[in-house]
Amino acid sequence: MEFQKELEKRRTFAIISHPDAGKTTLTEKLLLFGGAIQIAGAVKSNKIKKTATSDFMEIEKQRGISVATSVMTFEYSGKKINILDTPGHKDFAEDTYRTLTAVDSVILVIDCVKGVEEQTERLMEVCRMRDTPVIVFINKLDREGQDPFDLLDELEQKLSIRVRPVTWPVNMGSDFKGVYHLLEHQMNFFKVNKTRIEDDVVKLSLDSPELDKSVGAKDAKQLRDDIELINGVYDEFNEENYLKGEVAPVFFGSAVNNFGIKELLDSFCEISPLPISRETNVRRVFPDEKKFSGFVFKIHANIDPRHRDRIAFLRICSGKFERGKFYKHVRSGKDVRFSNPYMFMADSKNVVDEGFPGDVVGLYDTGNFKIGDTLTEGEIMQFTGIPSFSPELFREVINTDPLKTKQLEKGVEQLSEEGVAQLFTMQPGNRKIIGTVGELQFEVIQHRLLNEYGASCRFEGRPFSKACWLTSKDQAKLDEFIRLKGHFIAYDKDKNPVFLAETDWILRMNKENNPDIEFHTTSEFKVAGS
């Protein structure tokens, strides 16, 4: 059956990393393998350089480019692979968190010199919340990095996941000789080469004298010792535990030299999950169900500021999506249809007639969609597991042009629906507080409000550092808490009460003093816990 075949071909994942670890380079090499791009450097421009924090042109350029690279699709080894792009800049981390709700697995890139960095820890927390299967790629082996065993220890400690090496490096830096594949029993010899696809791979059992000849007796002994230690310390690789998100297979290589990537990609195709089932507020939805369903995980403003059209990115969860067919937009209850849905192929986009579970389609939107919206063939249900995460910076929006109050309100509301920032309302006076995870977003908002809505504003800092969504089994206690803490209470876009804490200490005190109130760091409590 055609549908089942299409479903089984799909692999949808994201690459995550701390900026500069090599995500863009790896993405590009994967696309080269898939033949989706012909030359190196094609994906490179999809990046806000770290120096460009106040360069609006750069931000605008990024917005344009990132529409095209939001999803990159290529075929390899009979699979249709969708890479969902995540912004590298840490100020757009929330965008990344949301994209992670739409994938079935991730590849985590680590710089072997720097080890596990801050941004990696935070992204992995989000993956751990959802038990997303993870493959680790330790990059830049052509540089003098940390000891690989130390790197593995650090991964386990900081990311709370067990690891299992699948390939293992012979030396590093200027003496880097290649990687040994522990499951295939073969040696891939390192050569500096940025475009080559063919690897220099030789089947070699560990006890073969050929190994001594090819890498030298000293390194051959070291490799044997290392692998003996690995087999003693780490459990055998077990696919089931990987799929449960409990253990991460680890690969070593050098993305810029296109080295160690084929091993990664081949294993990925073999073990990574097919489109997975997903929870709704009513029931679990399985990808092989006949009827179509999907959810919006990202909304992107069109690059042309004269039009307020947006593109909503829909992840297909079940059934077949068809162009021109009516679907139910569950939140509004309206039936909607799309005459020009499109999909992306590296740097081009094409109108498509159909899509299958795991695929992402771009839908033109004139302002009807919000992040998290569900489309179905009629069933009333809402996909869950697309929470908002607590912002870290909070500022009040001050209108500087009273004649444009309406435009400002509309702009702020639409930008928050798009997920650029989170909007909270505080009383008295319906004050609008914007929460973000980075400075850059405030600049983007101010710039876009002016350019797209003709509204001007400034921001006044608010000393909060965390937002916690509040619930309680005892409504009277919750009401009382909200009354007493009025200065620290805001309401999110869905009118849920949120406690804004200035410091972690204040938050802890409030938790301790109010045992009947639950404080949640994401807006969706069942999925994330607190």
> Three-state SS across 266-335?
HHHHHHCCCCCCEEECCCEECCCCCCCEEEEEEEEECCCCCCCCEEEEEEEEECCEECCCCEEECCCCEE
CB of 144 to ligand G4P, least distance (A): 10
CB of 250 to ligand G4P, least distance (A): 16
Our CB check for ligand G4P shows the closer of 19 and 305 to be 19
CA of residue 451 relative to chain centroid, distance: 28
Our CB check for ligand G4P shows the closer of 40 and 243 to be 40
Q: Give the interface with ligand G4P as residue ranges (CB under 6 A).
A: 17, 19-25, 88, 139-140, 142-143, 254-257
CB of 255 to ligand G4P, least distance (A): 4
Q: Provide the H-helix boundaries in 15-92.
A: 23-33, 56-68
Residue 381's Cβ-count burial label (10 Å; 0-12, 13-18, 19+) is: middle
CB of 346 to ligand G4P, least distance (A): 16
């092989």: which residue's tokens?
A: 288
């004649």: which residue's tokens?
A: 403
CB of 29 to ligand G4P, least distance (A): 9
- Residue 185 near residue 203, CB atoms below 8 Å: yes
The phi and psi torsions of 446 (rounded to 5 degrees) equal -60, -45
Our CB check for ligand G4P shows the closer of 109 and 501 to be 109
Our CB check for ligand G4P shows the closer of 255 and 299 to be 255
Cα–Cα distance for residue pair 390/32, rounded to 1 Å: 37
DSSP 65-87: HHHHTSEEEEEETTEEEEEEP--
CB of 103 to ligand G4P, least distance (A): 17
Our CB check for ligand G4P shows the closer of 123 and 468 to be 123
- Residue 168 near residue 182, CB atoms below 8 Å: yes
Our CB check for ligand G4P shows the closer of 21 and 116 to be 21
Cα–Cα distance for residue pair 226/233, rounded to 1 Å: 10
CB of 449 to ligand G4P, least distance (A): 29
Our CB check for ligand G4P shows the closer of 255 and 478 to be 255
